[in-house]
Amino acid sequence: MTTSPESSGLDQTVLTDEEREAVYLIGETLIPEGGSGPSADQAAVATQFIDRFFELRPDLHSGFRELLAEADLKRPREWCERLERQRPADFSTLTFVIAGAYLLSPKARGWLKYEGQVGEYQDGSPQPEYAEGGLLDPVIARGPIYRATTWTRDGTGGAAATG
């Protein structure tokens, strides 16, 4: 990603261009090029989906910016690894934002063939696994496995357990 303060045209209130550069570097570190799917940059994390992410999660905005401010952008890999080791909760926030923005991108979702939690229709129809001759047969054949009790309430209202 190459941007300059004058030319980026991106919303400076979400992230300044310097911060976007940091997102680009950290994104490419956590989700780099060369794997079977798009990298963070190829999925337009720093230029597009990070903005969408913070529209949805404004509550994570300031904490994330604080992390960017302290990131060592000369050695982003070492910085990420250190954060993961020493401050797992902050690493979790960082990766939730970057991976969250990445997975909003249709490119990333397309690579995973992930259509969201769309589910599947079902109508409670009988399932062959549960019919006679199905998978449950041996379970039923083994018979009860619960521990029986023989219990009556005694005359004084106390519990008289014998089982």
Partner 1 sequence: MSTDQADVVIVGAGLAGGITAATLTAAGLHVVCLEQGGWPDYDKARADFPDYEVTADRYWARDPNTRRAEADYPVDDTDSDISALMWNGVGGGTVLYSAKWHRMTPGDFRVRSHDGVADDWPLSYEDLEPYYVEAERQLGVSGLAGNPAYPAGEGPPNPPVPIRAAGRRMAKALNELGWHWWPGGNAISTRDYRMLSPCRQHGTCMSGCPEGAKASTDLTHWPAAIDRGADLRTGARVTRVLVRGDRATGVEYVDREGRLHKVEARAVIMCANGIGTPRILLLSATSEHPDGLANSSGLLGKRLMMHPFGAVAGIFDEDLATHSGSWGQQIQTMHFYESDPARGFVRGAKWGLQPTGGPLGLTRSYPWGQSPEPMWFENFHDTLASRLGHAPMWSLIAEDLPHEHNTVTLSSDLADSDGLPGARLAYTVDENSKRLMDFHVARAVESFEVAGARETIVGPHVRASGWHLMGTAVMGDDPARSVTDRFGRAHDIPNLFIFDSSTWVTSGGVNPAATQAALALWSSDAFLRQGQLSRRDLRTGAAA
User: Which tokens sit at 108?
Assistant: 């990333």
CA distance 87 to 32: 22
CB of 45 to partner 1, least distance (A): 12
Q: Which is nearer to partner 1, 17 or 50 (CB)?
A: 50
Q: How far is the CB of 61 from partner 1 (least distance, A)?
A: 13
Stretches 4-12, 15-23, 66-74, 139-147: which one binds partner 1 (CB under 8 A)?
139-147
CA distance 93 to 18: 20
End-to-end CA distance of the chain: 73
Stretch that binds partner 1, among 5-13, 16-24, 30-38, 66-74 (CB under 8 A): 30-38
- What x-and-dash track marks residues 74-113 binding partner 1 by CB under 8 A? ---x--x---x---x---x--xx--xx--xx----x-xx-
* C-alpha separations of 132 from 13, 70, 91 in Å: 64, 64, 51
The residue (of 2 and 121) whose beta carbon lies closer to partner 1 is 121
With CB under 8 A as the contact rule, which of the stretches 3-11, 15-23, 62-70, 147-155 interacts with partner 1?
147-155
Sequence-ordered list of residues with C-beta below 8 angstroms from that of 47, at least 6 positions apart, any chain: 1, 3, 10, 20
How far apart are the C-alpha atoms of 145 and 46, rounded to whole Å?
57
